Amino acid sequence: MSKHLSTFLKALVGLLFLAGLGLYLFRQPILDALIDNQLTQLGVPHSLTVEQVSLNGLVLRNLSLGEKNELRSEEIHIGWTLKDLLKGKLQTIEISGLQLLLDLSGEKPLLGSLQKLIKDEGESGDNNFTQISLINSKLKLHTGFDDFTVNLDGNIKQESSGAQLITMVFVADATQGRAKGNLEAILDNSGKISGVLNVSEGAISLAGVNISGVKGNSSFSLINNKPEKITAEFIL
């Protein structure tokens, strides 16, 4: 999943860069057509509104991508400097009200109809952004045994080395339990992701078993979407 994340971020930032370059060259009327044409060429059903534009950034509202609206966002603020924009770099991307559907069952593509955006899983390369901020975001995860909802707030920062520093606070809900905590991880240029997941408050609900006050942490590293090392310590 780490390589999926890196490649998907690259595709998303690429589309946002196109929006920024279109703004600089053509301004808002043609910018709408540019984004629409690019997404149409990619075969991605979509709708969005270009709400505000300036030489320092733009605001997109009511973004929806995918046949089943696999990705939605209430508002996206994109900021840049003209110097960085001409180099193909964005300064900040702030995404509010993100909703992303992920299928972890293995029966369907992870991103559904958006999987075509990350078809090429070659080298991840530079993602050309300084920081992505997620505000009031929600992941809806479908698995073979239960469905989860994860509410997220946090940042993904591009380090000078090209690695991405991920810091998030989360609340995860499922029929079998609930967890609240934070995540700190690094996604490097090779696609390896490593970090620590801390659970400050959790509960488990199984048939005939209800446990509250669960606390603990887990250290992990994954390479090419496969676990390399996982350790965990929890108090029930």
Which pLDDT score is estimated for 120?
47
Residue 123 has pLDDT above 60, yes or no: no
Position 34 scores a pLDDT of: 62
Looking at per-residue confidence, does 85 or 122 come out higher?
85
pTM of the full structure: 0.79
The first and second tokens of residue 172, run together, are: 């995860």
pLDDT at res. 157:
93
State what percent of residues in the chain have pLDDT above 90. Answer: 36
pLDDT at residue 41 is higher than 60: yes
pLDDT at 102 over 60: yes
Q: What is the pLDDT of residue 138?
A: 96
pLDDT of 32: 65
User: What was the pLDDT predicted at 55?
Assistant: 75
The pLDDT value recorded for residue 215 is: 94
Give me the pLDDT at residue 121, please.
44
pLDDT at 202 over 60: yes
Residue 211, pLDDT above cutoff 70: yes
pLDDT of the residue at 231? 93
| C-alpha–C-alpha distance, residues 152 and 135, integer Å | 7
- pLDDT at residue 183 above 90? yes
